[in-house]
Structure 1
Amino acid sequence: MNKIKKINQIDLRGKRVLIRVDFNVPINGNEISSDFRLKASMKTIKYCIKEKSKIIIMSHLGRPKSNESNLSLHPIYLYLKKYFDKNNVIFSKDCISKKSINISKNLNPTEIHLLENLRFHSGELNNSETFAFKLSQHAEIYINDAFGTSHRSHASNSSILNFFKKKCFGFLMDKEFNCLTNLKLNKKFGIILGGAKVSTKLGMINHFIDKADSIFIGGGMSFTFLKSMNKKIGNSLFEKKMLGIAKDTLEKSISSKTKIFLPEDFVCSKEISSSSNIEEKSINDFAQDDIGLDIGSKTIDLFLNEIKSLEKIIWNGPMGFFEIDLYKNGTAKLAEFISNLSSNNKLTSIIGGGDTVSAIIELGLSNNFTHISTGGGASLKLLSGEKLELVQSWGNND
């Protein structure tokens, strides 16, 4: 990491700069539902404007099988055109055509050129050197500001490094790495984990056992742990293959400094999509056909009471089936409580994971946390103590 230059360590004045951003945002029709990731890279783009750079922006959107019009970056072009109303913003319908490369080579200082979806070409996901070389023809300097893709080896963030002598991280990348790696674990801190699967969070759990004071487990993944304790979980989903590992993890925590907190009660229903027969139940009172869909009030109180004694919290994964209003109370209560503590400088809060971030944005609390990561899988991997593919690729090119 120390070898990777920061954007303010390279002379960008008047130069053509190719910025890899993560503008993989939700779009309905032509409307952008959330501009959280767009705004996250604006500091880098504005800095390039200040330096009178000629700016070329590239990103992916979704997982297209070909040139799918609903996954075009054209709505993002319209957003940028409005956001940078004093700058000339140009859109190219292909990212490696001769026409688009000529546009980049003839840009004036402070002009912005947005390229079409990188994944319209198979070479992006295949980490093709040929595709990466064509992308490199757009500019003299390469800037990576796409933390959300840093756990992948793709042409636009891996092979492309072979074709630039001058390359650096943008401000967002630098911020993400600083927040997620310089955790200073001397303070009393805890981890909240939710979502459906233990398997995706196991690395993070193992990394922090004996480092964290508390690990709070909610969401669907809690049922695998409860099942491993021979609790009756009704018809709730669990990972059968992870039962042994879940049991070992709980036993491992007993001899460590880390205390694991599991839900004591849940909001239950017989069917996920039904609004009838919803009731709050202790885990000890589950019927055979009960499905746990959110943490209950006793669990909320238990978690909040423990969290208020902490100085730092890392949260990845919702506490319930947040997409349905009936089952978002647990996530909402935790978010409101943690955001209040953070706003009053009583708690350092780091949020990761796409679903958790979406929930917090929906609740209107996104400005109240210390750091909200733009990377789901990337933040999870980094917080599990693993090295990201992007960093490995960068190391091989220095």
Structure 2
Amino acid sequence: MSFLKHKRSVSDIWPIKSKTVLIRVDFNVPIHNGVIAKGADARIKACLPTIRRVIDQGGKAVLLSHMGRPTGYKYALLSQSPSKHAQVLQLWQSEKGQELTTFFSLLSGPEKKKILNWSTKSSEGFRLSDSNGAGKTDLFASLDVQEKVTLLQRFIKETDEDTMFPQLRQYNGFKEELTLQPVAVRLEELLNAMPEYTSKTVVKFAPDCMNAQDEVSALKPGEVLLLENIRFYSDENSKDESERLAMAKHLASLGDYFVSDAFATSHRHSATIVGIPRVIGHGCCGYLMKREIEAYADLLGEPPRPIVAIVGGVKVSEKIVLIENILPQIDNIIIGGAIAFTFLKVQGYSIGNSFNQSGQSFTDTYGRHKTNIDELAARFLSKAKTHNVKVLLPVDHICHVKCEGTNTPWVTADANVPEGYMSLDIGPKTIQLYRSCIESSQTAVWSGPMGVFEIPTFSTGTFVVAKAMGDGTQDRGLVSIIGGGASATAARICGHDGRVSHISSGGGASLDLLLEGKNLPGIRVLDDL
């Protein structure tokens, strides 16, 4: 993997004084009620050196990031309808708890009347006129939240708003849980907390990433601007390459240089990952990106065998194609977490109420393939045998009737989960099985927890995996890499993060690069030295 080392970095951009530098970062951190979860700002901290490099040289840093997986609006539709664009902006900027009423208030008089006629206060709504100021919004505001949700869901199903406002379908009413505004606040705190800097750094926020020309123009040298969630526009990961390119061209027009510090998403062909550097005609690594790919080049040029891939997490649809592709490169694969239950179910085991995706269909990012997940799971197990890869699945479970803590969890005797129960962690026999596999390996790559480790009752399996990797690294030189995300968080919580070879900021990108040796699209597009 020596090809990875020969990439330009942000240090190679010169001069950048008074220039605008677009920096693609990954600030996809957990936020609840507008507050970043305690200790969950590691991704923000990891990008501070790159941002500092730009602003310390007198550059203007414009940051682009995604947050979560909103359905997103089509930029082409909004750009053709200024009124709809304004409506969306007001939704994004509405005060918390008011977003449903805000949406209602922006509808026409007849639309408001139609909705109110379906409500429990239809008789009062019937008496109100269609004109503005008649009191329809106040009447809607007096309804309870669940009724508002039900009414708006019915409205979008019966009108073309279903295509314009998919967030209302997905989140039962548009919510602001996916805004990056709290990240801007935390980023400014972190930049100004760096002890070597005494002058205050300003971090501004643009509430619409595709309408940020004014905010960018107003930036002064040494200032930072964070754009709102780029996935609020579906063009970012559109199946249509022309839509991704159109978004990339628009955003590229805002800057002079492009820097990528988002390793975790470098396996995607997104508008802001691949499109922008192609449009600008150049791109370089941020310090986080550079550190990641150099670490992999050093550690896994020729990984010692046997190699075990440890895969957990929630959705098998997000990882099944990837883990199928890496079968020729590995010797063993450990599967835990919720994704294990689709595999167990296709083998005939009972899984109770455990989360699974059995029976669902899987479509890849750009809509090229659509397959039943059960068929994919069965095909994976068959392919693993063909490649002589041993697949380790849970042989017992720690269960409860709800996903909450308990002092009396149910430990199953075998791989079957009783009716009425859900598995929330791997059981003691499985723990020993998985630990033994790691102990007999020379290379271990881990992506995804074994259970709901955030709840102490169900943290043992995940923490044992972290300890086994740490012990192996320290005691016998195991090459151990944790692929970021929840796995990295778990390793930090149980104190083994500093005992492994490397902790990545990427999940899927890590497995792609580490085990397939792929020159990922988000890395390939960047300039060589």
- With the shorter chain as reference, the TM-score category is 0.7 to 0.9
Indicate how the Cα distance of structure 1 residues 254 and 77 shifts in structure 2: closer, same or farther if over 3 A, else same: closer
Native 8 Å contact 1:268 1:293 kept in 2: yes
**2:44 aligns to what?**
38
Distance 2:332 2:216 in 1: 52
**1:47 aligns to what?**
53
Alignment of 1:92-103 (within 5 A): 92-94=205-207, 95=209, 96-103=211-218
Native 8 Å contact 1:59 1:118 kept in 2: yes
Distance 1:7 1:253 in 2: 42
Distance 2:380 2:268 in 1: 28
Shift of 1:331: 1.0
Q: Which of 203, 212, 215 is equivalent to 2:333?
A: 215
**TM-score (ref. length: structure 1):** 0.81
Opposite residue 216 of structure 2, the aligned amino acid is I
* 3-state SS of paired residue (1:75): helix
The question of 1:176 aligning with 2:292 is answered yes
* 3-state SS of paired residue (2:436): helix
Shift of 1:279: 1.8
Which ranges in structure 2 are unaligned for 5 or more consecutive residues? Answer: 74-87, 94-175, 193-198, 360-371
User: What do the CA deviations read for 1:348-395 (whole angstroms, capped 9, x no partner)?
Assistant: 222226333343344454444333332334445545746645357669
Aligned length: 393
Alignment of 1:226-375 (within 5 A): 226-238=344-356, 239-240=358-359, 241-243=372-374, 245-254=376-385, 256-272=387-403, 275=406, 278-283=409-414, 287-342=418-473, 346-352=477-483, 354-375=485-506
Shift of 1:27: 2.6
Between the two proteins, what is the percent identity of the paired residues? Answer: 32
Compare 172-181 and 259-268 and name the one that shifted more: 172-181
Q: Which of 252, 258, 275 is equivalent to 1:142?
A: 258
Shift of 1:259: 2.3
**2:64 aligns to what?**
58
User: What do the CA deviations read for 1:81-110 (whole angstroms, capped 9, x no partner)?
Assistant: 333323532414355444323223xx33xx
Indicate how the Cα distance of structure 1 residues 368 and 52 shifts in structure 2: closer, same or farther if over 3 A, else same: farther
Distance 1:270 1:88 in 2: 49
* 3-state SS of paired residue (2:399): strand
The question of 1:390 aligning with 2:522 is answered yes
Distance 1:139 1:275 in 2: 53
Distance 2:303 2:393 in 1: 23
* 3-state SS of paired residue (1:336): helix
Opposite residue 176 of structure 1, the aligned amino acid is E
Q: Which of 5, 10, 13 is equivalent to 1:7?
A: 10
Opposite residue 91 of structure 1, the aligned amino acid is K
Compare 34-43 and 14-23 and name the one that shifted more: 14-23
Distance 2:433 2:15 in 1: 52
The question of 1:160 aligning with 2:291 is answered no
Distance 1:321 1:24 in 2: 20
Q: Which of 73, 76, 79 is equivalent to 2:183?
A: 76
Opposite residue 35 of structure 1, the aligned amino acid is D
Native 8 Å contact 2:352 2:418 kept in 1: yes
Distance 2:474 2:439 in 1: 13
Shift of 1:8: 3.5
The question of 1:114 aligning with 2:225 is answered yes
Opposite residue 80 of structure 1, the aligned amino acid is L
Which ranges in structure 1 are unaligned for 5 or more consecutive residues? Answer: none
Quote the RMSD (CA, aligned, Å).
Answer: 3.6
If each structure's helix is expressed as a fraction of its own residues, which one has the higher value? 2
Indicate how the Cα distance of structure 1 residues 24 and 229 shifts in structure 2: closer, same or farther if over 3 A, else same: closer
Indicate how the Cα distance of structure 1 residues 12 and 203 shifts in structure 2: closer, same or farther if over 3 A, else same: farther
* 3-state SS of paired residue (1:283): coil
Native 8 Å contact 1:194 1:217 kept in 2: yes
Q: Which of 197, 202, 212 is equivalent to 1:89?
A: 202
Distance 1:245 1:338 in 2: 29
Native 8 Å contact 1:217 1:263 kept in 2: yes
Indicate how the Cα distance of structure 1 residues 129 and 283 shifts in structure 2: closer, same or farther if over 3 A, else same: same
Opposite residue 27 of structure 2, the aligned amino acid is F
Native 8 Å contact 2:396 2:428 kept in 1: yes
Opposite residue 204 of structure 2, the aligned amino acid is F
**2:343 aligns to what?**
225
Distance 1:251 1:74 in 2: 47
